[in-house]
Structure 1
């Protein structure tokens, strides 16, 4: 069935057909591993976002859709490292909510979206750019204004200070950005070092960054597990809830 034909079906009919196909040709759910659809109903329900407010090292506000734990962590790892691109449409829903919250910041209504660029080596290994693919699935246009200027060592085992030093100087704008406003987008926000380097590169080219959005937020490696304090006037005090479109 073509994507156009699927889009034309009512949601209930489309859901029933997917259930039937899962019986005939089951795959492992990317969240729990049980034979089902790409993402089973139970794991989809676990992806109801509760926005996490954070700040980058320089105070730039950032928002993530979910905590990087449990089902979401398993799905993101499978999506990025296990070739589970069949989960992209499900993951795109929470990311779109985080982007909407970032665009609600002062000056963000008309902001352009800038995904954090993947490295050439990672693109060759995967065959796709994870953040750009999520934005396409969410039908959110993204601009290509940043590029990586050099590689860096893997960040997984590094603390916050080491990550900032490792990321420093790795991004550069492709062209002058004067008069343009941006929201940066990433998949997982850890210490904020990569997004902070993107902020630096955009500002160095004359652009304005109003905030950042991410699919998931993980506790800082410095040992601080709670989100950074909320800045006055950035986000509403209540937690926003959102059920992804199925």
Structure 2
């Protein structure tokens, strides 16, 4: 974040306010403050983007706000709607990654690394779902679809980063890791045992996700290439 830019300062301030509300007020109060972090992120995106506007990114942010409000109102009561909304959320993220990456056939070792790293994640989610399985009897189909797209998002971001270790894929992988961790906390907090500290962690993770996905969307590979060429030219001149 560039603290000299008003839009970046606005995001930092809205993030701090959201964190303070999560710590000191009832969870319901987040409905009034959390949307401002998304609003400031979108303003930064519109003012700093160099590529054509991504409708999928904008829609994903809107879905994030609506889904977040439903989670605050009560995941048990809105589990079906939350599952549907966030399934589309992950579909949009998958599409954004696909558009950003040139599709080349991955090497066998890439798939092996993805499978190896994903195994403990899959086991962790299996254990969590076993813990809250009694809450899912009426929405098992919707929740299963959500889990499929969520895990697909994580494994795809991991695949793209292993295949092509550029800065853009790193930002999205970091966002995916935060999302994966945040989802576990949300499920346990809403369907198993509520703790204010869990809500604070979820808010913090959501801020990290917004920040890193924004960096993914604003990443300009051409600028990095130009900077590298300039650096090499400077070194040649100095030598």
TM-score (structure 2 length as normaliser): 0.26
Higher relative contact order (CA 8 A, sep 6+): 1
Could you say which structure has the higher strand fraction?
A: 1
> Which of the two has higher C-alpha Rg?
2
Greater helix share, 1 or 2? 2
TM-score, length basis structure 1: 0.26
